[in-house]
Amino acid sequence: MVLLESELPHGLRSIVRALVRIKTVIVVFSLPILPITFFLVVLFRYVLETDLFAYEEWLLPICFWLYFLGGALGTYDDVHINADLLGAVSDSPKYLWLRKIAITIIELVIVLFVVYWAYLMLADEIASYPGWKTTIALKIPFFIPRVGIFLGFVFMAFYSALFLYLLWKVGPDQYVETISQANKAKEIEEERATW
């Protein structure tokens, strides 16, 4: 989607960019917590001969938020791993465009089902208040990581729907032209990196 983002209406483009920046900041600042925590676990266990109390409990929400917000960013950048070999079948702009539309529709339908299930999971958790399930030692409610799951899937659905809109708006010729320009730019960057 990021390649076609310039085709969005100005207000929506600003909102999308702000959302991507917020998610990126959360991921960038949260990611170092994992290796720092594991370093501290080793330090505490093997040097200080004690344990870091309940570290897996406060890492749980961080990991869920990182994973699902990272998945949303992957949807935005269209960099999820896939096994799509149909792109090698034809170079026709219309075929490539229709193939991408079909893939995006399938992705959107699946993600919308998962958003619904994530909503049911959150609704069940909210309905059980104040008897929320919590972690054993720190009593962190499971609601916190589940919100991260729900938001991640909501953003995946949002970016898939926007991408579908943009594909439909730009048409086959502009889509193929944009992809080829991006591939050429990537090749130039890779050549510069080897110098």
Residue 75 pLDDT: 93
Spatial contact of 24 and 189, defined as CB atoms under 8 Å apart: no
pTM above 0.85, yes or no: yes
pLDDT at residue 150 above 80?
A: yes
The pLDDT > 90 percentage for the chain reads 64
- pLDDT tens digit string along 14-48? 999 999 999 999 999 999 999 999 999 999 999 99
Whole-number Å distance between alpha carbons of 71 and 19? 14
Of 67, 69, 53, 70, the residue nearest 140 (C-alpha): 53
The pLDDT-based confidence of 87 (bands split at 50, 70, 90) is low
DSSP 93-113: HHHHHHHHHHHHHHHHHHHHH
Q: 83: helix, coil or strand?
A: coil
Structural domains of the chain, count: 1
What is the domain range of residue 87? 2-194
Phi, psi of 141 (to 5 degrees): -65, 140
Q: How many CB atoms lie within 10 A of CB 10?
A: 7
